[in-house]
Structures are given as C-alpha cells and as structure tokens.
Amino acid sequence: MWENIFTAIDEQYEHMVKTRRYLHQYPEISFHETETAKFIQQTYDRLGIPYESNVGGNGVLATLKGGRPGKKIALRADFDALPIHEENNVEYRSKVDGVMHACGHDGHTASLLGLAESLVPFQEDLPGTLVFLHQHAEEFAPGGARPIIESGALDDVDAVFGTHLWVNTPTGIIQTSKGAFMAGADRFHIKVKGKGGHGAIPHQTKDAIVIASQLVTSLQQIVSRRLNPLDTAVLTVGTFESGDAFNVIADSAELSGTVRTFDSSVQDLIIEEMEKVIKGACISAGADYDFEYLKGYTPVINHAEEAELILDEASKADASLSTEEVDPVMAGEDFAYYLEQKPGAYYFTGAQLPDHYFPHHHPKFDFDEKALPHAAKTLLQAYRSYQEKHQV
C-alpha cells in the first residue's frame, strides 16, 4: 500500500505545482488569510474530507480517519504571506502589491493538500487518523499556533509533525535535530528622548542620534561580553530612525530589533542587561528613554524519538532523499508551541534552486518545486513510522 501511496504523491506533482502557483499569485498577510482559508476548505469539500474552519482564527483542520486502529497524528502546514513586494519576473508572480509568499508557505499548503488527495483512495487501509492542520499567521507573533491549541482542536492528538521548505539546503536533503532546532524569537523597541536644537550649537542639546548610535554598539557587547561564551544568542538592531534635516540635531531616535535565544535564563539575562545599557547611556547624556521588549515564539525543541524517525526513515519515502542531523538555526517558528504540548518533530525539506538563490523573506525568494512531493512524502513517512512504532 505505502509504495502505491508514494506513487500517487508523485502523480500529484503537477497539481501541487498548480496549487502552489495559484496561492503564490494571491497571497494574504498574517491574520487576514480569509480567501486562502476558503481555498483550502473548497479543496477538502471536493475531496469529501470533513474539516473544521475558523479554528483559532483562520485555521482549517481536516480529519481523515483510517479504517484500521492506530494513533491520531497531526501534520501541519502554514499558509500566510509577508508584507514584501515581489521582484521575481515569473508567470506566477504575486498579483497583490506589497504582499508575497517569500517563505514557502504556499508550497507547504500545496504539499499538504496534495498529500490529502493522494490518501483518499487508501483511506480504509490507513491506520489511525490524520489531521491536516492548516495554520494561519505563522509570520507575525502572537501567531496562529497558540489560539489553535487553545481551541482544544489538538487535545486528542498523539503526535505532531511539520516541515519547512528550506532554500538554504539543496533539494533532496532532509535536515533536523534531536533537540533544539530553531530559536526563540523576540523583538524590542527603544526610543531615546533627548533635546533637539541647531546643528551648529550642539552644547545646548542632548543629541538623540549620538546616544542611539552608542546604544547600537553597546548592545552588541551584551552577547560578546556579558553572556557565557558557551551560551547561544543573537541581538540584532534592525532599524534606526531619527532626524528631519541635515542641520538639526534630533530630539529623538528610535531603534528596533530582535533577540534570539534557546534558553529562558539567557533570555532573562539579555533583557536585564539591555535595560542597564540603555538606562546607563541615557542617564550619562541627560536623556530619557522608553524600552519595550516583546517576548515572541519560544524555541523549537524537537522530541528525540520523533526526530529520530525523520532522520532514520525519511529515505523510505523516496530513495533519492538523504538526511542530516544539523545544528540549530536562529530563525524562529511558532511550531514550538505544538511541541510543548505534544510529542513530535519539525524538519527542513531542502528546496534550493541552484541558479536562483535568494534567502527566505527576500523579494526575489523562490524555491525548487521538485521539493513539493518530498515534503508530502516525508510527512506521510513520519505518520507511517509513528504508527508502526506505536501499534495499538
């Protein structure tokens, strides 16, 4: 049976590409994915698979109950896009100005829908139950995973698996880790409140740009000089906004950025040290400040046994696939919340275009569509392996 299903997934390739390209042309940003959700629902209507809509917001959960006893496994795909204007010159280019699928979520959705369609003819032979978990709003905290969990939709699920099409990895390679896999992702905002004045009379001012510039440098020393070198963290200042004219000393400056960690004690230390650095710089210059720190997604910590299923058995889905156990990456993902509730694992499906490499969240981002069936097959294999390991 399984080989026939894998063949059926291969036969879905062109349809998966068509689905992905349609979704790519009509992207919707986080928490506004109503038409995308309707498209997903219409697919399950056509397949005759029952589903719940508006789960935790715009989420869609479809359930395929097999004819044999077994566990209930959730397979997750996200479907929101980003507020980025696409620069690719392709026939399936985004038709929505300022919005594009720049992270592969259109491909995640196409893969999961293709898997669902491939499984329908084999339903009576399948063990247990599959939950096709289509999640909204992964890109923007607080994200869609938490409200889906809070809805109780996954209370009776035994395990959860998900994958991310990953252009940093060549097509045909599956990557994961048996512990920490992706970082917790926070963001911060700092406003320096000084005293403006004439550019020729600096001694009568409290120059917010100079103070903020010192902060950009000093904040970097938190990781390099105040953390244990064996701890892992990233502190990045991503925006710096200030000033209105070349000959005016600015009265305020605003910085924003992100902090990435794997450990809550490291996260707490960074917050404490940031407050000290900001307060010290502003007091010494006679300025005031506002500091807002927003804790985002927690780290993605895979369960070792479920990650081993990916590493050891993904190649059973397709002999051309190979697996690698890799170091964690500093990107964040709200799949973390599922893993705090249920056993499971998250992994990367290599999808690098050799002649067109632009990273995730870039306006020229694109991926190798040959990875679509790889994602579908490995999700199926994760479900299969888990059922075989936990036979009722």
Kindly list the catalytic residues: 80, 138
Instruction: Calculate the CA 161 to chain-centre distance.
Output: 14
Q: Note every long-range contact of 383-389, with CB atoms under 8 Å and residues 24 or more positions apart, other chains counting.
A: 383/73, 383/75, 383/130, 383/161, 384/2, 384/316, 385/309, 385/313, 385/316, 386/71, 386/73, 386/158, 386/159, 386/161, 386/306, 386/309, 387/70, 387/71, 387/73, 387/127, 387/128, 389/305, 389/309
Integer Cα distance of 385 and 339 in angstroms:
18
Integer Cα distance of 335 and 147 in angstroms:
12
- Torsion-angle region of residue 152: left (phi > 0), alpha (psi -120 to 50) or beta? left
* 57 φ/ψ angles, rounded to the nearest 5 degrees: 135, -110
* 129 φ/ψ angles, rounded to the nearest 5 degrees: -135, 140
Helical axes 208-221 vs 264-285, angle rounded to 10°: 150
Q: Is 261 helix (H, G, I), strand (E, B) or coil?
A: strand
Integer Cα distance of 262 and 13 in angstroms:
37
Within 8 A by CB and 6+ apart from 125, the residues are 1, 66, 67, 68
Integer Cα distance of 85 and 75 in angstroms:
30
- CB count within 10 Å of CB 320 equals 10
Tokens 């038709």 correspond to 95
